[in-house]
Copies of this chain bind each other. A is one copy, B any other.
Amino acid sequence: MTSHESAIRTLLEHRVDASQAKDIDRLMTLYSDDIVYYDAVPPLRFTGHEEVRRNFLRWFDAYDGPITLETHALTVTAGDADLAFAHMLHLDSGTRTNGMNIGLWVRSSVCLRRSGDRWLITHEHISMPIDPETLRVWFPPQQ
């Protein structure tokens, strides 16, 4: 594992920890000012720190209490230069205010850029698959 890969794995752990704790200030330190964010929910994209911050707060407010995020099938690609990317599955669970208390599997792609010693997320894409017949969200069969 390169030192860059190690740094990115640590950053991704901080991303999960800050999300679970709903620590918006800590979470936002991981994102670049020019972040372009495609989320599981509308609209098509969020651009810049303020829009992304508001959208994270909306997500936090959908839960009564903490969020639980399990990471699965993580792949980190980091060379010895200033760009890197990672993809993973998250099992997202907790007590939701809308009463839907099942775990949701989401796909997560993260693209990063380094400036000096500091890596920042410049693009993130979160989604769930859609059943093409019903146009509703698709839930994987229970494991």
Contacts and interface: CB of A to CB of B under 8 A. Distances in A.
Contact of A44 (B98, B125, B129): B129
A122 interface: yes
A78 to B, nearest CB: 8
- How many copies of this chain are found per oligomer? 2
A111 B77 contact: yes
A79 interface: yes
B123 A125 contact: no
Contacts of A109: 38, 109, 111, 123, 125
Interface residues of A, number: 44
Interface stretch (A11-19, A63-71, A134-142): A134-142
Nearest to A59: B132
A97 to B, nearest CB: 11
B137 A135 contact: yes
A107 interface: yes
Nearest to A138: B42
A43 B137 CA distance: 11
A45 interface: yes
